[in-house]
Structure 1
Amino acid sequence: MTEDHKRLLKQKLWNIADELRGKMNADGFRDYCLGFIFYKYLSERLVKACNDILKGEVEFPSYEHLDEGDEEHAEVIGELQDEITESLGYFLKPSELFSTLAERGAHISEKAKKSEDDDVVIDAFILGDLQEVLKNIERSTMGTESEDDFDQLFEELDLNASRLGRDPDARNALIAKIMFHLNSIDFKLSDSTNDVLGDAYEYLIGQFAAGAGKKAGEFYTPQSVSTILAKLVTRNKQRLQSVYDPTCGSGSLLLRVAKEVNYVNHFYGQEMNRTTFNLARMNMILHGVSYRNFDLKQDDTLESPQHIHKKFDAIVANPPFSAKWSAKKHFETDDRFAPYGKLAPSSKADFAFVQHMLHHLSDNGTLAVVLPHGVLFRGASEGHIRRYLIEECNWLDAVIGLPANIFYGTSIPTCILVFKKCRENPDNVLFIDASQHFEKAKNQNELRTEHIKKIIDTYHTRVNVDKYAQVAPLAEIAENDYNLNIPRYVDTFEEEEPVNLSTVVSELKTIEKEMAPIDEQIRQYCQELGIEAPV
C-alpha cells in the first residue's frame, strides 16, 4: 500500500469520527469510534481466517454467505468455531459480522449515489442486535484461554446512551450511518507486509489525545517520545523475550518497542483506568498481537502489582507525573522498595515507579522512563533513593533532558532516565541536554526526526558534544551530592557579545536630542491646561 493510500485511510476514518464529534466529549466519541473500528476489524479478520480454511470447498465458497438456517451450513459453522476460537480467541457467526449489520442498517439512496452525497436511508433498527453481537463476542471466549483478554471489552459502547441521540430511532440512525461508511473502507488485511490499520488506529488515538486536554496523558505518549524510549531499550537487540509497561495507557508505547526489533515474544502491561485498559487490549489485538502473546492487567500498579514474580528484558514507561500514592508502612518490607531503606513521598510517586520497574528489570535488560525534572534534584527521601541507585547499585546509565511543552495536557519540561543493571560504562553517566532542540508548533513543541536521531546517536556514541552532552564520572556526581540537574554537567551557557558603552552613550544623547522638541510641546499643552508639566 502506498503512502497516499495510508493517508487516505487515516483521513476517511477521521471523517467518520466527525459524525460523532459535537454529540459528546472527546473521551466519548473516541471510545465509540475506536470501538466500531475494532468490531469491523474483528469481523474482517475472522472472515479472512474462515475463508482460508474453506479455500477449495466448492459448496462453501465464502464464510459471510453461509446460511445459519441451513443444517449443512450450520454444521460447517460449528466446525469452524472450534478452530477459529482456538487461533483467534473469539468467534462471530455470519449474521453477527460487521458487514451484515451495516448492510441491514442502511443503504445509499439512488439520488445520493448520483449526487455523491452522504445521505443514508435507514432500512432497519439494528441497535438491539448490535448490542447482543458485542456481548456474544465476549461470550464466545468464555471457558477459553482468551477469556480474560475479551472480558467486558465493549463495556464503554453503551448504545442506549442519550448522547448518541434523543430517542432510539435517532441513535439507530447515527450508528447505522457510521457503520455504513466504515463498511465501505477496505482495511487491506490481506496486505500482511504492512500494518496499515494499526498505523491508522495509532493516528486516531493521537488525534483524540490532541483534543483531550489534560486527560490525554492518561492514555497517550507523543509518538516522538515513544520512539526515543523504544530505541533506547532496544539498542543492539533484534529479539526480545518480553517488554513491560507498568502504566501502559492505550498500549501504544509497548507496540512502539515492537517496531524497533524483529520479534517480541510477549507484551506485559498494567493500567489503572478501566476505559484505557480496554483501549489497550483492543490496540494489541488490532495490531495483530495474539491473545497468547500479551498479558495486560487492570489495577493500580504500585498498590496492587499484577506481575509480581516476572523479570523483563525491556521496560518503558510514561507514568503520571508526581502522582500521589499511599506510601503505607507495609511497603517498607515490600521487595520492590525494601532495599532502599526509604519510600518515595506519598505526594510524589515518581521514584516509587522507578523502584517498581527496577525490581522487574532483568539483569541484561534496559529501562527507559519519562519523569518530571524534579526527580533530578529533589531532596529528602527522593535524594536518598537517588543516591542509593547511583552509589550502591550503579544502575543509572543516562539522563536526557527533553523540551518543555511536548506532552498533551502539561507544559513542564521532562527528562528520560535510562537504567541498566549490567552497564557497559560503569564509571560514568551520560547527560544529554536536548531541551532546546525542537520545532515550535501551533499548540505544543515537537521533536522531529533529526532531533530524535541526535539524541539516539549521542546515546550510542557516548561522547562529549559541546553545549549538548557530557559524560560525567561518578566521582563528579558524588561531588555534587548526587544532584542530577543537567546544567551542572552540560554547560549550555552562551556568552553575550560585549557591550560598547561609548556607542550606548552616543545613542542615548541622540535620543535625548530627538525628544527635546516633543518635551517642549508637552510643556506648552500642560501650561494651556493649567497643570504641572512632567519633569
Structure 2
Amino acid sequence: MVLRKSDLYGSLWKSCDELRGGMDASQYKDYILTLLFVKYVSDKAKTDPNTLIDVPRGGSFDDMLAAKGDKEIGDRLNKIIAKLAEANGLRNVIDQADFNDEEKLGKGKEMQDRLSKLVTIFNDLDFRGSRAEGDDLLGDAYEYLMRHFATESGKSKGQFYTPAEVSRILAKVVGINSRTRQDKTVYDPTCGSGSLLLKAASEAPRGMTIYGQEKDNATWALSKMNMILHGNEIADIAKGDTITNPQFVSGNHLRTFDFVVMNPPFSLKSWSNGLENDYGRFEYGRPPEKNGDYAFLLHALKSLKSVGKAAIILPHGVLFRGHAEATVRQRLLKQGFIKGIIGLPPNLFYGTGIPACIVILDKENAVARTGVFMIDASKGFMKDGNKNRLRSQDIHKIVDTFNKQLEVERYSRMVPLSEISDPKNDFNLNIPRYIDSSEPEDLQDLHAHLHGGIPDRDLDALGVYWDAFPSLRATLFKPNRPGYSDLTIDVSDVQQSVLDSDEFTKFAADVRSAVDDWFVTHRPILQAINEQTVPNELISRIADDLLARFKDTALLDEYDVYEQLMTYWHETMHDDVFLVMNDGWLDAAKPRKAIEDKERKLSETPDLVVGSGRGANKYKMDLIPPALVVARFFANEQAKVDELSLVADEAARAVEEYIEEHAVDDGLLADAMDDDKISKALVSARLKVAKHEGAEPEETQALQHLLGLYNYEAVTRKAAKDAQAALDAATLKKYGDLTLPEIKGLVLDDKWHATIAEGVASEVTGLTQNLVARIQQLGERYAETVDDLDAELRASEVLVSQHLAAMGVR
C-alpha cells in the first residue's frame, strides 16, 4: 500500500506514543528522528544507486529489524547506528540518542518491548517509492514531527524550530524565486534544525548552496540529519556560537552570502560573553550589553554581499527601543539598508508567545532608498491548539503585498524616510505609528435614537455590498429625512429579501461560473496526473490562477477563495494526488481491506461494510468515497433506501408516541413497565398474563396494539436494512467495474470540483450573512426613538398606578 502523508504522520506520532514514557519531547525527538533517518537512508539505498549515503552491512534498518525481541536490543541498535555513522562521517550526528539508556527507555523487558514495537512501526514505513524530490513527503513528515516536538517542548526548548509558514514568507520576501540560480548562496547564522534554510533553498528551482551555523550540539545534529533527509548532503552546517565564534570567516572578515535568513533567539542577554573579535560588525553602533537582537541583525548585514538581501525574525522592540538600539536603527535607516518590516501575529513561535516582526535588509540600491515598506499582518491567522498559525491565504497575501509593494488600506504602505525621520517620529519604526489597522468604531447616533431612522453614514460604510448589488439599497431602504433612512420591510424579512434579489442570485451564479471555468481550464492537467507530477508545482499553478480570477470580483476577497482551495488541498486533495501518482488511477480507486491490528491497537474506521457479524468485510476507499459511487450510479436505489428508512423511523416514532401516551401511572401500559422501562419483551409477557387473568379489555387492546407497532417497526427496519445491504454489495461490485474515464469523472468532477465549488459558495453565503446581520443590527438599534420609549414608560406608569389603586394603595 502506498504511503500517504496522512498515513505517515499517523504512524510517526504513534511511534512517539510508544516511546515517550517519562521523557519530554526534547528528549524523545532524538530517538524518533534518528530512526526516521536510518529507515529513510536504508530504503533509498535499495533503489537509488547514486545515493550519497553509504549503508554498510550491519548498519541498516534491516539489521535493526533483526534485533526485534532481543534482550540486548538497545545495545544492538546503538552498534548499528554507529556503523552507519562511521561509514558516512556522521559520528556525533546520528548517534546522539542512546538506545540502551535504562533511565529513559526502561529496564530489561520494558526496554525490549518498547524498542521492538518502535522498530515494528518504522518497518511499516516504505520510503523506497518516496518522491521526496517532487513532493518532499519525508521532509513534510520531518516538519510535522518538529512542529509537534516544539509544541510539547515548551518555551525553553522550542526555539530549534521556525514554523514552516513563517519560513516560506522569509524565503519569498528575501528575493529567492524561480529565477534564482543554483550557485547562489543562502546562509542562516542561527539555523536550529535547518528548516528555515531548507524552505529558503526550496524556493529556487534547482536549490541553492546552503550554509548554516548552530551552537547547540543536539540541534546541530538535527540540522545535519535534516539536510540529508532533504537531499542536501553537501550543505555546510557549522557548529559554534555565531556572535562570539563565527565559523564562516576569511581572515579577519566574515564571509559574505547572497541571501541571509534567520530566526535568532530573542533579546539574548549573554550575547557578548566571550566576544573578542567583532569582525567589523558593529560599525553602525554597538548593541546594548543585555540585549543581542541588533547583534544578530548586524551580523546578518555584515554577512551580505554588496547586493545581498536578508530577512530576520525579531521582537517588535527592535523597531522602537531607545538608547544604543535607537542609534543603530537611525544609522541603518540613513544608509537605506532597511527595505521593509512585516508585523506578524502573536503566539506564532514555539520559544515565545510575544508578537514578532520580519525585518528585510537589502544592500542593493540602498543609497537610493527613500522609504520603508511596512505591512501589519498581525490579524491574519488561525488558532491551532495553543498556538496561532498562518493560513495559506495569509502567507500569499503577505508575499504578494510585499513583493509588489502594494498599498492596502489598514494593511500596508510605503512610509517615506522623511516621515520616519520627522521629529515627532524620530526614527521610531513601530508599525502602528504609520498603519492604523483597527476597524472603524461603530458609533451610536444620538439624532437617530431621538428621532428615528438609520444613519446614511452607516449604510454608506456597506458600500462594497451596494457595488456588488447596485439596486439592493433602494429596495431595502427609503429616505426618512436628510442623512437618515428607514427600512422598507420588517427587520426579520431582510435575509429573505437579499437572497431573493436578482442581483444576489446573479452574483452567486457568476461566482459559481468563475469556479467552473477555472476548473475546466485545469482539468486536462489534473486528469493527466501520473508518476511524473510534481504536486507542489501543480497546486501552485492552479491555486495562483484561482486567486487571479477572483482578484477583481466585487465583494469577495480573492485570498478567502484561495484559502478554500488550499484548505481542501492540505486536508484531502494532496493525499489523492499522491495515491494516483504512486498507484495510477485504476489501482488507487480500488477498495482495500480496512486495517484491524489488535496487537498494535490499530483500527481504521471502514468506509463500507458488506455482510454482518464475524463474516463482515470492512473496506476503505481512499480515493473515491462510496457516497460518490452511489450518487452517480445508484441514485434510485439510494432513494429507495431513504424511503424505507423514513418508514422505519416513522414506525419507531409511533411506538414512542404510544408509549409516551399510555406508559404512565394508572395508564393502560403501566403494568407492562419494569423500573419505568418498557420493551417488546415486557409487553409480550404482560399480554400473556393479562389474557390469563382476564384483565380489562382496554389494557389487552393497548398491549396488542403496541405489540403490533413493535412488529411493524421490526419489519420496516429489516426492509431498510436489507435494502442498504443490497446497495452496499452493489456499490462494492461497481468499484471493480469502474472504467478509467468513470474514475476520473468521480474524482475530478464529483469530488474535487464539487467540494471546491461548495467551499467558494460558502464564502458568498458568509458575506451575505454579514450584510444581513449588520442591517438587522442597525434596524433594531434605531427601531425605537426616545419618544417611543418615553410613551412606553408613561403607559407603564399609568398601569402601575391603576394596579396600586386597585389594591387600595394611594
Normalised to the residue count of structure 1, the TM-score between the two structures is 0.78
Equivalent in 299, 321, 339 of residue 240 of structure 2 = 299
CA distance in 2, matches of 1:326, 1:200: 33
SS in structure 2 of the partner of residue 36 of structure 1: helix
SS in structure 1 of the partner of residue 283 of structure 2: helix
Is residue 2:126 matched to residue 1:127?
no
Q: Which residue of 1 aligns with 2:230?
A: 287
User: Which amino acid is the alignment partner of residue 278 of structure 2?
Assistant: D
Q: Is the CA contact 1:324–1:347 (under 8 Å) kept in the aligned structure 2?
A: yes
Q: Which residue of 2 aligns with 1:406?
A: 348
Is residue 2:42 matched to residue 1:97?
no
- Post-superposition offset of 1:212: 1.5
Is residue 2:433 matched to residue 1:470?
no
In structure 2, relative to structure 1, the CA distance for the partners of 1:179 and 1:495 (3 Å cut) is: closer
CA distance in 2, matches of 1:243, 1:298: 17
CA distance in 2, matches of 1:29, 1:510: 73
Q: Which residue of 2 aligns with 1:325?
A: 270
Equivalent in 322, 333, 337 of residue 281 of structure 2 = 337
CA distance in 2, matches of 1:105, 1:242: 43
- Post-superposition offset of 1:508: 10
CA distance in 2, matches of 1:493, 1:154: 50
SS in structure 2 of the partner of residue 297 of structure 1: strand
SS in structure 2 of the partner of residue 264 of structure 1: coil
Q: Is the CA contact 2:5–2:137 (under 8 Å) kept in the aligned structure 1?
A: yes
Q: Deviations over 1:185-230 (max 9, x none)?
A: 2113453533221221111111211212113532111111111111
User: Which amino acid is the alignment partner of residue 334 of structure 1?
Assistant: D
Is residue 2:443 matched to residue 1:498?
yes
Q: Which residue of 2 aligns with 1:422?
A: 364
Equivalent in 100, 105, 112 of residue 160 of structure 1 = 100
In structure 2, relative to structure 1, the CA distance for the partners of 1:329 and 1:250 (3 Å cut) is: closer
Q: Is the CA contact 1:327–1:343 (under 8 Å) kept in the aligned structure 2?
A: no
Q: Is the CA contact 1:245–1:316 (under 8 Å) kept in the aligned structure 2?
A: yes
Gaps of 5+ in 2: 451-784, 798-810
Is residue 2:125 matched to residue 1:185?
yes
CA distance in 1, matches of 2:312, 2:792: 55
User: Which amino acid is the alignment partner of residue 362 of structure 1?
Assistant: K
CA distance in 1, matches of 2:274, 2:115: 51
SS in structure 2 of the partner of residue 450 of structure 1: helix
CA distance in 1, matches of 2:70, 2:270: 53
In structure 2, relative to structure 1, the CA distance for the partners of 1:463 and 1:199 (3 Å cut) is: closer
In structure 2, relative to structure 1, the CA distance for the partners of 1:514 and 1:351 (3 Å cut) is: farther
Q: Deviations over 1:326-370 (max 9, x none)?
A: 537966x62343422x31112110000000011111122210011
- Post-superposition offset of 1:11: 1.4
CA distance in 1, matches of 2:230, 2:64: 24
Q: Which moved more, 1:127-136 or 1:448-457?
A: 127-136
- Post-superposition offset of 1:501: 4.4
Q: Is the CA contact 1:243–1:264 (under 8 Å) kept in the aligned structure 2?
A: no
Q: Is the CA contact 1:239–1:261 (under 8 Å) kept in the aligned structure 2?
A: yes
CA distance in 2, matches of 1:319, 1:387: 22
Q: Which moved more, 1:185-194 or 1:438-447?
A: 185-194
Q: Which residue of 2 aligns with 1:173?
A: 113
Q: Which moved more, 1:16-25 or 1:364-373?
A: 16-25
CA distance in 2, matches of 1:306, 1:490: 40
Is residue 2:396 matched to residue 1:453?
yes
Gaps of 5+ in 1: 53-83, 107-121, 142-146, 517-535
In structure 2, relative to structure 1, the CA distance for the partners of 1:471 and 1:90 (3 Å cut) is: same
Is residue 2:50 matched to residue 1:44?
no
Q: Is the CA contact 2:82–2:91 (under 8 Å) kept in the aligned structure 1?
A: no
In structure 2, relative to structure 1, the CA distance for the partners of 1:438 and 1:326 (3 Å cut) is: closer
CA distance in 1, matches of 2:74, 2:10: 27
User: Which amino acid is the alignment partner of residue 167 of structure 1?
Assistant: K
In structure 2, relative to structure 1, the CA distance for the partners of 1:188 and 1:512 (3 Å cut) is: farther
Q: Which residue of 2 aligns with 1:117?
A: none
SS in structure 2 of the partner of residue 243 of structure 1: strand
Q: Which residue of 1 aligns with 2:154?
A: 213
Is residue 2:30 matched to residue 1:31?
yes
- Post-superposition offset of 1:420: 0.6
Q: Which moved more, 1:184-193 or 1:169-178?
A: 184-193
In structure 2, relative to structure 1, the CA distance for the partners of 1:336 and 1:124 (3 Å cut) is: same
User: Which amino acid is the alignment partner of residue 64 of structure 2?
Assistant: L
In structure 2, relative to structure 1, the CA distance for the partners of 1:329 and 1:180 (3 Å cut) is: closer
Is residue 2:141 matched to residue 1:200?
yes
Q: Which residue of 1 aligns with 2:802?
A: none
User: Which amino acid is the alignment partner of residue 272 of structure 1?
Assistant: K
User: Which amino acid is the alignment partner of residue 26 of structure 1?
Assistant: A
- Post-superposition offset of 1:244: 0.7
Tell me the percent identity. 38
SS in structure 1 of the partner of residue 19 of structure 2: coil
Q: Is the CA contact 2:244–2:275 (under 8 Å) kept in the aligned structure 1?
A: no
In structure 2, relative to structure 1, the CA distance for the partners of 1:399 and 1:166 (3 Å cut) is: closer
Q: Is the CA contact 2:185–2:210 (under 8 Å) kept in the aligned structure 1?
A: yes
- Post-superposition offset of 1:513: 10
Q: Is the CA contact 1:187–1:196 (under 8 Å) kept in the aligned structure 2?
A: no
Q: Which residue of 1 aligns with 2:294?
A: 351
Q: Which residue of 2 aligns with 1:224?
A: 165
Q: Is the CA contact 1:398–1:417 (under 8 Å) kept in the aligned structure 2?
A: yes
User: Which amino acid is the alignment partner of residue 52 of structure 2?
Assistant: L
Q: Is the CA contact 1:270–1:306 (under 8 Å) kept in the aligned structure 2?
A: yes
Q: Which residue of 2 aligns with 1:258?
A: 201
Q: Which moved more, 1:187-196 or 1:132-141?
A: 187-196
In structure 2, relative to structure 1, the CA distance for the partners of 1:360 and 1:19 (3 Å cut) is: same
Q: Which residue of 2 aligns with 1:247?
A: 190
Equivalent in 25, 39, 52 of residue 88 of structure 1 = 52
Q: Which residue of 1 aligns with 2:316?
A: 373
In structure 2, relative to structure 1, the CA distance for the partners of 1:511 and 1:456 (3 Å cut) is: farther
Q: Is the CA contact 1:398–1:429 (under 8 Å) kept in the aligned structure 2?
A: yes
User: Which amino acid is the alignment partner of residue 342 of structure 2?
Assistant: I
CA distance in 1, matches of 2:257, 2:107: 50
SS in structure 1 of the partner of residue 369 of structure 2: coil
In structure 2, relative to structure 1, the CA distance for the partners of 1:495 and 1:45 (3 Å cut) is: closer
- Post-superposition offset of 1:510: 11
Q: Is the CA contact 1:272–1:301 (under 8 Å) kept in the aligned structure 2?
A: yes
Q: Is the CA contact 2:381–2:388 (under 8 Å) kept in the aligned structure 1?
A: yes
SS in structure 2 of the partner of residue 234 of structure 1: coil
SS in structure 1 of the partner of residue 413 of structure 2: strand
User: Which amino acid is the alignment partner of residue 422 of structure 1?
Assistant: E
Q: Is the CA contact 2:176–2:200 (under 8 Å) kept in the aligned structure 1?
A: no
In structure 2, relative to structure 1, the CA distance for the partners of 1:193 and 1:29 (3 Å cut) is: same
Q: Which fold has the larger relative contact order, with Cα–Cα distance below 8 Å and residues 6 or more apart in sequence? A: 1
Q: Which moved more, 1:186-195 or 1:393-402?
A: 186-195
CA distance in 2, matches of 1:308, 1:254: 19
Measured on the aligned residues, the alpha-carbon RMSD in Å equals 2.8
- Post-superposition offset of 1:390: 1.0
Q: Which moved more, 1:376-385 or 1:483-492?
A: 483-492
User: Which amino acid is the alignment partner of residue 39 of structure 2?
Assistant: K
CA distance in 2, matches of 1:356, 1:472: 26
Task: Kindly report structure 1 stretches of 4+ aligned residues shifted beyond 6 Å.
Answer: 507-516
CA distance in 2, matches of 1:350, 1:165: 39
User: Which amino acid is the alignment partner of residue 311 of structure 1?
Assistant: T
CA distance in 1, matches of 2:290, 2:329: 17
Q: Deviations over 1:454-478 (max 9, x none)?
A: 1111112213211111111111111
CA distance in 2, matches of 1:454, 1:151: 44
